[in-house]
Structure 1
Amino acid sequence: MAHNGAVNDLDPPAASPDSPLASFAALRTSEGRALLDEVRGSEPAQELAVATRLRREHPVGLVSAALGQARLRQRAAAKFGAADAAEMFFTPNGVEQSTRASVAAYRAARFGELGVRSVADLCCGIGGDAIALARAGIRVLAVDRDPLTAAVARANAETLGLAELIEVREADVTEVDTAGYDAVFVDPGRRGGRGRIFDPESYSPPLSWAVQAALKAPLAALKVAPGIPHEAVPTEAGAEWISDAGDVKEAVLWFGTGEAGSVRATLLPGPRTLLGRGLPDPAVRPVGRFLYEPDGAVIRAHLVAEVAADLDGGGLVDETIAYVTADSATATPYATVYEITDRLPFGVKKLKALLRQREVGVLTVKKRGSAVEPEELRRKVKPQGPHSATVFLTRVQGAPTMLLGHPVTAPEN
């Protein structure tokens, strides 16, 4: 069983000259590096012409590998930044499953703050977390059992000048002795042949194994899917949900930090961290002048009550909906604030008439507790005009409701 999932859709025998491992090795020759430089920045529309030209002078397989790597580098730029992505190596699944560089850097900084100087990075993938740890001055043992994945991780450490701090080992993570390392980091595979895996015990390796590995270490962090049920979080762990620019990226279970049972939501950039205080659910109240949309990490961490408690008279619009309302605007990094101008019972014709009256041509549709698809609604109301607005499709005290408004910048206290 591969402990971080398959890394490539192609799987001929490793000894085959056409295997992914052989193709990758060819890319690291002088001819391969020259080809990578030549195809850098090639547009998809130009790819056929570029391939035809290059195949006159280079092996067909090498040209295909170079063009494939160029496409992967372009995709990876959003995750790793243009500068690093242009030099690193990737696999298709490696791009998809790697930790975003900003998130990896935040976690590496937290390891450093906890006094960690060495980490065993189990299921390291193409090395995204190992790179961040090494850049934070932490020595890393990066382990993956897949030969191609390990080769790519090793190449990335070398390419970015971090080989002295990162040792890449091709091995089964369940057989690696992590004694002697200050901390263990485990990123189990959460994708299978049918897509995402939601059952933590179906991770590769299972969450139960990762927890046992964490408990043996002085300090540990386990990366898990942000949808992990709170009841699946071990009592020995503190749980952290992380978002980047508003998108929830992952959850992390921390062991050995002295915060067992704690819950936190961390928002990047920043970082801004909201700690759980064990508050009861906020009361439901009438919709006020302002609506607060908590960040996704706050919602996943079940910390909406903490946001509401820091507002003047904050409460929920519905007991099942994570929208908070208040009569005044209060600056908070943990929610986006909207001024509500209209409240209507759900109805397409009513909304269309109101938008026409307000000359709204740019309509942002947000929904929570509604089955209506935003694009379908936008198509039906046909917004036209010079103004913009946001409509929330939700429930207010159980009734399907539309709230119309616009984002505002709340004054600092």
Structure 2
Amino acid sequence: MDAVTLSKLFDPAVYGLLETVDAAPGAELATAARLRADGVEPDVAAALLTQARLRREAEAKFGPFAADMLFTRDGLAQATRLPVAAHHAGRMLAADAGTIADLGCGIGADAMAFAGLGANLIALDADEVTAGIAAFNLRSFDTATVEHGRAEDFDLARAGALWLDPARRAGTTASGAARRLSDPEAFSPPLTWAFSAAREVDAVGIKLGPALDHALIPEGWEAQWVSHDGDVVEVALYAGAALRRPGRSALVMGSGGAAEVHESDLPAGDEEGIGTVGEYLFEPDGAIVRAGLITALCAPLGAHRISAPIAYLTGDRPASGVAARLVRQWRIAEVLPAGLKPLRRALVERGIGRVVIKKRGADIDPAQVRRRLKLPAGRPATLVFTRIGEDHVVLLAEELADAPGAEPAPPRDSGEST
């Protein structure tokens, strides 16, 4: 969408048409035909359909607020989820550093949270259309202003606190999706510029992708990996008055509340029992894995690593309370052989005919393994291909969905296949 088409969307009569646009699968062709019959310009009709489609998708991040917002495809992809944005706002306003400059505000997700808590806010984006959409989404907040410009050209003397969400997408892939950038110096603005700008203000927060190399975290800063409802969504770097505790931390957010693990919780040395298996298997939340804080859970869980390099823990009692919010957990029924022929024989003997396959530390294709097992009809089970110490094994396990305080969620990047 270009600036001319966006200006047409701002026309109250045109914007009002959004309420009549049905972007549900199967309804778009009829909707497009109706708009054309009503004399709506083709570019405006296409924009209305796109906005209706994006609003449907945005409900997962913004809930009912999505129904009165505008979006770009890339802006929605990088936008902060509403509960996580509220967390950002709470941290930045607690710094009490005055006006917040949100440089690289995108469609305004974090800016809405800042302004919603009463912050004096200057939001800025380098893309003209994105800045216009942010201004629209922030139209109800009289303490917020939106500007079009580059972060590098912003006068930092205008603000006491700085929030940065560098653009990390550019160009397109073969499928038409925005291409993710992996080089921090290709971000807009570059990460080195962000670190330099941080020295000019009293408080700073920088939102980045969760794959950030730990070596890039400046000395004395806090790096907080955040997951929400099982998805690892970001790592945020904090300095100055926004800093709480230097070092790496993981914040796990969900419907049951939030729980945090910090680098200072790591044990001084290796735990006892590495390479042995207990009665229960624990998969730490992805934010904890990304932050490198797996062993910080050993003491709360009474557990140890199943193998030193693998992100599974095992112990003899189920997780409960706060610790249960930090892991998925299974009761280990048996340790089975890893070879396909003896494994198939063992499964058939136990009446198992449908399997969910998970893996860590095992070089397998879960879908291919499931096909090669060729199991007859039978009851369902979970198989975990992993290692106990250095030995490849398969764990026959049952997930504890109703453990005290547990909030099981679909795992991410775990190799699970059904």
Q: TM-score range by the shorter chain?
A: 0.7 to 0.9
CA deviation after TM superposition for structure 1 residue 173, in Å: 0.8
CA deviation after TM superposition for structure 1 residue 306, in Å: 0.7
CA deviation after TM superposition for structure 1 residue 328, in Å: 2.1
Query: Which runs of 5 or more structure 2 residues have no equivalent in the other structure?
Result: 174-178, 406-418
CA deviation after TM superposition for structure 1 residue 171, in Å: 1.1
- Do 2:275 and 2:388's aligned partners in 1 also have CA atoms closer than 8 Å? no
Match of 2:261 among 274, 288, 297: 274
Secondary structure, aligned partner of 1:271: strand
Match of 2:316 among 327, 338, 351: 327
* Residue 236 (structure 1) aligns with: 220
Task: Give the AA of the match of 1:307.
Answer: L
* Residue 133 (structure 1) aligns with: 114
- Tell me, yes or no, if structure 1 residue 166 matches structure 2 residue 151: no
Taking the TM superposition and a 5 Å limit, the aligned residue runs for 1:170-209 are 170-193=148-171, 195-209=179-193
CA deviation after TM superposition for structure 1 residue 202, in Å: 2.2
Q: How many residues align?
A: 388
* Residue 13 (structure 2) aligns with: 31
Distance in structure 1 (CA, Å) of the matches to 2:6 and 2:346: 59
* Residue 304 (structure 2) aligns with: 315
Distance in structure 2 (CA, Å) of the matches to 1:335 and 1:315: 13
* Residue 265 (structure 1) aligns with: 250
Task: Give the AA of the match of 1:379.
Answer: R
Distance in structure 2 (CA, Å) of the matches to 1:113 and 1:50: 47
Match of 2:200 among 206, 213, 216: 216
Distance in structure 2 (CA, Å) of the matches to 1:113 and 1:387: 53
Taking the TM superposition and a 5 Å limit, the aligned residue runs for 1:57-136 are 57=38, 58-81=40-63, 83-136=64-117
Task: Give the AA of the match of 1:243.
Answer: S
Distance in structure 1 (CA, Å) of the matches to 2:76 and 2:57: 7
- Do 1:117 and 1:137's aligned partners in 2 also have CA atoms closer than 8 Å? no
Task: Give the AA of the match of 1:124.
Answer: C
Change (3 A) 1:411 1:89: closer
- Do 2:220 and 2:247's aligned partners in 1 also have CA atoms closer than 8 Å? no
Secondary structure, aligned partner of 1:216: coil
Q: CA RMSD in A?
A: 2.1
* Residue 397 (structure 2) aligns with: 405
TM (norm. structure 1) is 0.88
Write the deviation string for residues 234-292 of structure 1: whole angstroms up to 9, x where unpaired.
10311100000111000011101455642211011222111222434445131111111
- Do 1:121 and 1:184's aligned partners in 2 also have CA atoms closer than 8 Å? yes
Percent identity among equivalent residues? Answer: 35
Using the TM superposition, name which of 129-138 and 392-401 deviates more: 392-401
Secondary structure, aligned partner of 1:149: helix
* Residue 253 (structure 1) aligns with: 237
Change (3 A) 1:147 1:386: same
Distance in structure 1 (CA, Å) of the matches to 2:315 and 2:69: 48
Using the TM superposition, name which of 141-150 and 188-197 deviates more: 188-197
CA deviation after TM superposition for structure 1 residue 89, in Å: 0.3
* Residue 392 (structure 1) aligns with: 384
Task: Give the AA of the match of 2:355.
Answer: L
Task: Give the AA of the match of 2:100.
Answer: V
CA deviation after TM superposition for structure 1 residue 386, in Å: 6.8
Distance in structure 2 (CA, Å) of the matches to 1:359 and 1:165: 65
Change (3 A) 1:345 1:300: same
Secondary structure, aligned partner of 1:85: helix
- Do 1:360 and 1:388's aligned partners in 2 also have CA atoms closer than 8 Å? yes
Secondary structure, aligned partner of 1:86: helix
Query: Which runs of 5 or more structure 1 residues have no equivalent in the other structure?
Result: 1-18
Write the deviation string for residues 272-326 of structure 1: whole angstroms up to 9, x where unpaired.
11122243444513111111110001111111111012233x2111111010111
